[in-house]
């Protein structure tokens, strides 16, 4: 296939559409998408292309980090979450608030204030994810002490990070901490607790995770422990915010229930560094923001920086500011940090600040039973030889592109476009610079072709044979040169006379006569003795200005004295 042919077969379109249809927590609202290409640059895994004026998410590359939700100012990228209406499906409902929820309400006095409000809006009971975080903290300490896990250990509480490693850093899969995230631990504990407490079957108890991000939808749909997650529904902060805020307003201090059980250890988890403290090591680094995470993991992956070699733990959070900056939060991340400080203060916690309650947990109970696998998004072909050939083509195409990563082609970088081309999903002229080059080349080619005749119109001596001078347009032209009679000639002379007299109404006629003069190669070289190339103004390549033309006789027609160039 030629590289510049349009290769987007309907199969490609279907594949891209299928990618869209596969489950993901981040979706595109096509009606709102303007095709502006803003989102393609910020995606950490180059999962977005703009095709036919709309963004398309390549399913296997997307890690559900939600970065594009933040980037799109047209609100075309949206998170898929569940609805509060699904409370009706269960006999008993439990709210599982992420600790970051405590940072969303300036008017809330205490965590108990918010937890009581959750019950007021319809939940039968509440279980803090912060408590699950304490279990995971204890399990992490035990696991790291008792197991020879590859260092530095990479945190796995953020599902987007696990997927990032699967997609981009397969050699770091063994560094992932293989334990459930706090929300999954909390969901399991809550299901068990309330099932025992109410005597209901676990299926009748609805566990509603109140979440700052959509990435947890992936945890809910594809858990790494067990076949089915204990999280039944995921409600975003944004969806519950207004309801909860008005309930908070209506609760006086004496009506607050004593529900909060977690210590500041669990409550500080959503802040960068919170999880590292839980790991019980001083040799850690906490990174927030997906692009910074990518940078750090690249350094670890390539073993570039010796300082990273002595590390025990790397805490990675996809969002800037940790879960407080999640894409489905309401409050500005810095305001949230200030509120959060209050929420984990001594008077807001049952345990002393910094004191990790000894939870009786066996880390085996939180261990993944499925290892995340590498998602080979960069593999060009399963056939090695073919893959090498494609790679070499890709490099060659990449070198020929301007390398400015402008994004105008709908791909995030020139190399991404080169990859799309070898995969048959794009064409070289998607690059505006290449398109311009091609148009310029075509213009030169057309100019050259303009002097060439098809063989069917050439005689044996190589000259063109355009007829015998019969009553055709061609003969009309010869009449002009030879001063031969006929209506056409008379008309032409009349026109010129009138134009000479300055009759503007007739200048068109003169111009049309000129147009006849400059008609085409066939007319200029019809082989009856006329030499149109001698005439200035001819579109022929070899016009010899002023030669052999009786300007008086032709009323200056060929020298352009009467033609107004504006009319052409
Ligand atoms: S940022 Fe992306 S999703 Fe949003 S309008 Fe632009 S191309 Fe569409
Ligand atoms: S959610 Fe993240 S990985 Fe997925 S398309 Fe958006 S920016 Fe890319």
Q: Would you say residue 126 lies in a domain?
A: yes
65 & 195 share domain: no
CA of 66 to the centre of ligand 2 (A): 5
CB 481 within 8 A of CB 534: no
**What pLDDT score was predicted for residue 350?**
62
pTM of the model: 0.74
Ligand 2 and 26: CB distance under 6 A: yes
Q: Between β-strands 92-97 and 125-126, what pairing exists: parallel, antiparallel or unpaired?
A: parallel
Ligand 2 and 47: CB distance under 6 A: yes
> CA-CA distance, 520 to 529, in Å (whole number)?
16
CA of 29 to the centre of ligand 2 (A): 14
Any bridge partners for residue 313, and if so which?
A: 153, 284
520 & 402 share domain: no
Q: In the structure encoding, which two tokens stand for residue 194, read together?
A: 């309330």
**What pLDDT score was predicted for residue 269?**
86
Q: Between β-strands 205-211 and 233-236, what pairing exists: parallel, antiparallel or unpaired?
A: parallel
Q: Would you say residue 294 lies in a domain?
A: yes
131 & 232 share domain: yes
CB 275 within 8 A of CB 132: no
> CA-CA distance, 71 to 77, in Å (whole number)?
9
212 & 291 share domain: yes
CA of 68 to the centre of ligand 1 (A): 8
200 & 334 share domain: yes
CB 245 within 8 A of CB 75: no
Q: Whose CA is nearest to atom 8 of ligand 2?
A: 43
Q: Would you say residue 443 lies in a domain?
A: no
Q: Would you say residue 224 lies in a domain?
A: yes
CA of 50 to the centre of ligand 1 (A): 8
Pocket test for ligand 1, best of 37, 58, 409, 410 (most atoms within 8 A of CB): 37
With H, G, I as helix, E, B as strand and everything else as coil, classify residue 185: helix
Please provide the DSSP assignment of 414-476 as one string: HHHHHHHHHTTSS-GGGSHHHHHHHHHHHHHHHHHHTT---GGGB-TTS-B---SS-SSHHHH
Q: Whose CA is nearest to atom 4 of ligand 2?
A: 62
**What pLDDT score was predicted for residue 239?**
95
**What pLDDT score was predicted for residue 23?**
63
CB 153 within 8 A of CB 278: no
Q: Would you say residue 448 lies in a domain?
A: no
**What pLDDT score was predicted for residue 349?**
62
Please state the domain count of the chain.
Answer: 3
Q: Would you say residue 449 lies in a domain?
A: no
CA distances to 190, 288, 535 from 201, rounded to whole Å, are: 13, 40, 99
Final residue of a structural domain among 335, 366, 397: 366
Q: Would you say residue 447 lies in a domain?
A: no
> CA-CA distance, 71 to 132, in Å (whole number)?
32
CA of 43 to the centre of ligand 2 (A): 5
34 & 171 share domain: no
CATH number of the domain that residue 54 is part of: 3.30.70.20
Residues in contact with ligand 1 by the CB-under-6-Å rule are 28, 33-39, 50, 55, 71-72, 74, 76-77
Pocket test for ligand 1, best of 40, 49, 56, 77 (most atoms within 8 A of CB): 77
Final residue of a structural domain among 366, 401, 420: 366
75 & 89 share domain: no
The residue segments making up the domain with residue 551 are 456-567
Interval 109-147: pLDDT, tens: 999 999 999 999 999 999 999 999 989 988 998 898 888
164 & 257 share domain: yes
CA of 407 to the centre of ligand 1 (A): 12
Q: In the structure encoding, which two tokens stand for residue 105, read together?
A: 């309400």
407 & 465 share domain: no
Ligand 2 and 314: CB distance under 6 A: no
386 & 360 share domain: no
The number of the ligand 1 atom at minimal distance from the alpha carbon of 37 is 7
**What pLDDT score was predicted for residue 563?**
64
**Residues whose CB falls within 8 Å of the CB of residue 264, separated by 6 or more in sequence, listed in order:** 344, 345, 346, 348, 349, 351, 352, 353, 354, 355
Pocket test for ligand 1, best of 28, 34, 67, 409 (most atoms within 8 A of CB): 34
114 & 15 share domain: no
The number of the ligand 2 atom at minimal distance from the alpha carbon of 39 is 7
Any bridge partners for residue 77, and if so which?
A: 28
Q: Whose CA is nearest to atom 3 of ligand 2?
A: 62
Q: Whose CA is nearest to atom 6 of ligand 2?
A: 68
> CA-CA distance, 37 to 54, in Å (whole number)?
9
CA of 55 to the centre of ligand 1 (A): 6
CA of 4 to the centre of ligand 1 (A): 26
**Residues whose CB falls within 8 Å of the CB of residue 541, separated by 6 or more in sequence, listed in order:** 451, 533
Interval 533-560: pLDDT, tens: 333 333 333 334 444 434 444 444 444 4
Looking at residue 518, the DSSP 8-state letter turns out to be T
313 & 241 share domain: yes
Q: Whose CA is nearest to atom 2 of ligand 1?
A: 39
- Which residues of the chain register pLDDT less than 50? 1-21, 465-560
């Amino acid at each position: 296939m030629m590289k510049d042919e349009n290769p987007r077969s309907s199969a490609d379109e279907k594949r891209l559409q299928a990618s869209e249809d596969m489950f993901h927590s981040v979706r595109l609202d096509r009606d709102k998408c303007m095709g502006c290409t803003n989102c393609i640059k910020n995606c950490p895994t180059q999962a977005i292309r703009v095709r036919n004026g709309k963004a398309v998410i390549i399913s296997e590359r997307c890690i559900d980090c939600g970065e594009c939700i933040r980037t799109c100012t047209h609100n075309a990228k949206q998170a898929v979450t569940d609805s509060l209406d699904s409370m009706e499906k269960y006999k008993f409902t439990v709210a599982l608030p992420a600790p970051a929820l405590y940072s969303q309400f300036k008017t809330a006095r205490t965590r108990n204030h918010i937890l009581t409000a959750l019950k007021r809006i319809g939940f039968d009971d509440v279980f803090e994810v912060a408590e699950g975080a304490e279990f995971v903290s204890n399990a992490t300490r035990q696991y790291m002490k008792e197991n020879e896990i590859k260092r530095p250990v990479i945190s796995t509480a953020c599902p987007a990070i696990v997927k990032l490693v699967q997609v981009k850093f397969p050699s770091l899969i063994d560094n992932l901490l293989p334990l459930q995230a706090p929300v999954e631990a909390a969901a399991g504990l809550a299901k068990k607790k309330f099932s025992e407490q109410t005597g209901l079957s676990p299926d009748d108890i609805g566990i509603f995770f109140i979440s700052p991000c959509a990435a947890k939808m992936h945890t809910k749909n594809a858990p790494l422990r067990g076949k089915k997650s204990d999280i039944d529904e995921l409600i975003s902060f944004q969806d519950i915010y207004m309801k909860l805020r008005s309930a908070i307003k209506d609760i006086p201090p004496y009506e607050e229930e004593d529900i909060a059980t977690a210590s500041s250890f669990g409550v500080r988890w959503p802040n960068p560094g919170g999880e590292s403290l839980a790991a019980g090591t001083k040799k850690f680094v906490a990174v927030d923001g997906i692009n910074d995470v990518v940078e750090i993991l690249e350094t670890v992956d390539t073993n570039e920086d010796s300082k990273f070699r002595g590390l025990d733990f790397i805490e990675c959070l996809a969002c800037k500011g940790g879960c407080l900056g999640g894409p489905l939060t309401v409050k500005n991340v810095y305001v949230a940090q200030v509120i959060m400080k209050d929420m984990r203060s001594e008077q807001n916690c049952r345990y002393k600040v910094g004191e990790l309650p000894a939870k009786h947990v066996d880390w085996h109970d939180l261990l993944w039973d499925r290892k995340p696998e590498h998602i080979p998004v960069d593999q060009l072909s399963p056939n090695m030889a073919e893959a090498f050939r494609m790679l070499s083509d890709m490099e060659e195409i990449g070198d020929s592109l301007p390398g400015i990563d402008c994004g105008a082609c709908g791909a995030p970088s020139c190399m991404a476009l080169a990859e799309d081309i070898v995969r048959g999903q794009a064409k070289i002229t998607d690059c505006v610079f290449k398109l311009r080059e091609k148009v310029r080349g075509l213009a030169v080619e057309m100019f050259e072709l303009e002097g060439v005749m098809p063989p069917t119109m050439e005689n044996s001596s190589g000259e063109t044979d355009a007829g015998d001078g019969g009553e055709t347009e061609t003969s009309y032209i010869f009449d002009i040169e030879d001063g031969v009679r006929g209506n056409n000639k008379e008309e032409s002379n009349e026109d010129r006379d009138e134009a000479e007299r300055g009759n503007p109404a007739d200048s068109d006629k003169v111009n049309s006569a000129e147009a006849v003069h400059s008609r085409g190669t066939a007319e200029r070289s019809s082989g009856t003795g006329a030499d149109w190339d001698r005439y200035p103004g001819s579109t022929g390549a070899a016009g010899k200005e002023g030669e052999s033309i009786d300007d008086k006789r032709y009323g200056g027609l060929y020298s352009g004295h009467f033609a107004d160039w504006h009319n052409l």
